[in-house]
Amino acid sequence: MDLQNYVNGKWVDARDGSRFDVFEPATGEVLATAPDSKPADVDAAIDAARAAFDTGPWATMSERDRARILLRAAEIARREHDRLVEMESRDSGKPLEEAKHDIDEVAFMFEYYGGWATKIHGDIPPVGPGAMSLVVKEPVGVAAMITPWNYPMLMAVQKVAPALAAGCTAILKPAEQTPLTALEIPKILEEAGLPPGVLNVVTGFGETAGHPLVVSPKVDKVGFTGSLEVGKLIMKNGADTLKRVTLELGGKSPNIVFADADFEHAIQGTCDGIFGNQGEICSAGSRVFVERSVYNDALEQMVAVAQAITMGGSLEPDTTMGPLVSKEQQERVLSYIAAGKAEGARLATTERTVTDERYRNGYFVPPTIFADVNNNMKIAREEIFGPVMSVIPFDDVDEVTRLANDTNFGLAAAIWTRDIGKALRTAKAIRAGTVWINDSQPAPTEAPWGGYKESGIGRELGPHGIEDYLETKHIYINIER
Ligand code: ADP
């Protein structure tokens, strides 16, 4: 499969003809090739988006017509559901069940933001008897979107749908590891009636295809989801053109199990929160705090859940954990497991591998639980982005709140207890953008998503997800003249 960029409504190769290989994580074999885009290719996409915004039909199209295109896109995504699920699963390594969830949510995001397109409005603050003020919401302009490989289509549509609903035009640069479904987005939107140039997609690497978007004076905003390191770089590199940025970065999210929790539910949810999507989740509950009186029982049961997980090819129906996305990521996660052992954490799970010959070159890492972890260990401080749980005992609410907040990150937290007062007190005390009570990981499209501290800037999803694609204009009218 030879993929192409989508620029100004046309499918094109990189100008210098260069391509890179995209690997299937389950087998390690080449799945596709994609254009290795360079600054000239990115500039062409920026020019197309700029023209579509400044002089093209998008900005002048009625909100109703923009809404209809997004609503049609939702229907087309649903029609293509099964094909997209298989493509996403193959490209990213996630099991089919998880890919199904992603694609269902992708279709709903088009619908949800299609609904918002006709409901964005400003207001009229009182400014005295002699004047009127109109506060008007306008699209921020040309928006660039730089996305990661863990939820390839979801993370892209999470940006594209609100941006289009706001009236922006866009350039999407998907992660080099997983470009397949990102290139389906313009196909869906073109069929739904999106004019050329409004959404452009260029594939390639961060420094050559992502960086030009960040420094271009013609791009008004960058929406980024990815690593802390690159997020900081984007903020620095975007400073010269005072780029608006939305950053959704890493996490080291606490998952707190109180002794009075619904035990089985808490154990399963805690495991799902770190082993789901192979642990490649920015909000993964990677630090598991367990009240000391139930610590040994909890550990034993979590190990049992981990050992029962079926690792295998992502398309196999009985697989509950697929491979990691790349060889590089597999090596990175294995190096953290080695660091955990070296630091003296107790490895509580067995180090198994996939036995099926077809997947012997796949990028698998087994579900891994470290017991008796100290919150100062490297495995408790740095984001691993893999199926590695660190379990830490605690004695009371104050101690666990302090430990939970003792991190540079602040993306999410989960609390398991039947005591509603304790749950809400703890939820208020934790510095994180999302707190789940008796659950882990739901991120519904209707509610805001984003981080405190070094987990990011701005919010995606919900109405908040549109705010970041809007400017606010004040029009003052002297009504005495
Ligand atoms: P990860 O470490 O999880 O692979 P990254 O933060 O490196 O995540 O990548 C997320 C996205 O950022 C990818 O699309 C990648 O190509 C892009 N990217 C990486 N480096 C840069 C950069 N210097 N400028 C802009 N985009 C970049």
Q: Are 415 and 437 within 8 A, CB to CB?
A: yes
CA of 206 to the centre of ligand 1 (A): 5
Q: How many CB atoms lie within 10 A of CB 67?
A: 20
271 as an active site residue: the answer is no
CA of 478 to the centre of ligand 1 (A): 49
CATH class of 5-249+455-476: alpha beta
CA of 230 to the centre of ligand 1 (A): 6
Q: Give the CATH number of domain 254-444; options: 3.40.309.10, 3.30.70.260, 3.40.50.10470, 3.90.180.10.
A: 3.40.309.10
User: Cβ(384) to ligand 1 under 6 A?
Assistant: no
Q: Which residue out of 42, 146, 176, 225 has the highest number of ligand 1 atoms within 8 Å of its CB and is therefore the one to mutate?
A: 146
Give the number of the atom of ligand 1 that is nearest the alpha carbon of residue 175: 14
Collapsed DSSP state (helix, strand, coil) of residue 327:
helix
Residue 60: its pLDDT value, please?
86
248 as an active site residue: the answer is yes
Q: Are 85 and 91 within 8 A, CB to CB?
A: no
The tens-digit pLDDT sequence of the chain (481 residues) is: 999 999 999 999 999 999 999 999 999 999 999 999 999 999 999 999 999 999 998 988 999 999 999 999 999 999 999 999 999 999 999 999 999 999 999 999 999 999 999 999 999 999 999 999 999 999 999 999 999 999 999 999 999 999 999 999 999 999 999 999 999 999 999 999 999 999 999 999 999 999 999 999 999 999 999 999 999 999 999 999 999 999 999 999 999 999 999 999 999 999 999 999 999 999 999 999 999 999 999 999 999 999 999 999 999 999 999 999 999 999 999 999 999 999 999 999 999 999 899 999 999 999 999 999 999 999 999 999 999 999 999 999 999 999 999 999 999 999 999 999 999 999 999 999 999 999 999 999 999 999 999 999 999 999 999 999 999 999 999 999 8
Active-site residue among 88, 105, 168, 282?
A: 282
Q: How many CB atoms lie within 10 A of CB 375?
A: 18
Nearby residues of 145 by Cβ (< 8 Å), 6 or more positions away: 156, 159, 160, 163, 170, 171, 172, 173, 222, 223, 224
Q: How many CB atoms lie within 10 A of CB 346?
A: 13
Minimum CA distance residue for ligand 1 atom 15: 206
Q: What is the pTM of this model?
A: 0.98
**Quick one: which of 313, 327, 326 has its CA closest to 89?**
313
Count, in order, helices (H) and strands (E) of the chain. Answer: 15, 21
Q: What is the CA radius of gyration of the chain?
A: 23
Residue 103: its pLDDT value, please?
98
- 409 vs 406: CA distance, rounded Å: 9
User: Cβ(214) to ligand 1 under 6 A?
Assistant: yes
- 137 vs 63: CA distance, rounded Å: 13
DSSP H or E stretch at residue 237: helix 228-237
Residue 59: its pLDDT value, please?
80
Q: Are 268 and 305 within 8 A, CB to CB?
A: yes
Domain ranges of the chain: 5-249+455-476, 254-444
Phi first, then psi: give them for residue 120, nearest 5 degrees. Answer: -90, 120
CA of 119 to the centre of ligand 1 (A): 33
Minimum CA distance residue for ligand 1 atom 17: 206
Instruction: Enter the tokens of residue 377.
Output: 């260990």
CA of 256 to the centre of ligand 1 (A): 31
User: Cβ(207) to ligand 1 under 6 A?
Assistant: yes
- 210 vs 179: CA distance, rounded Å: 13
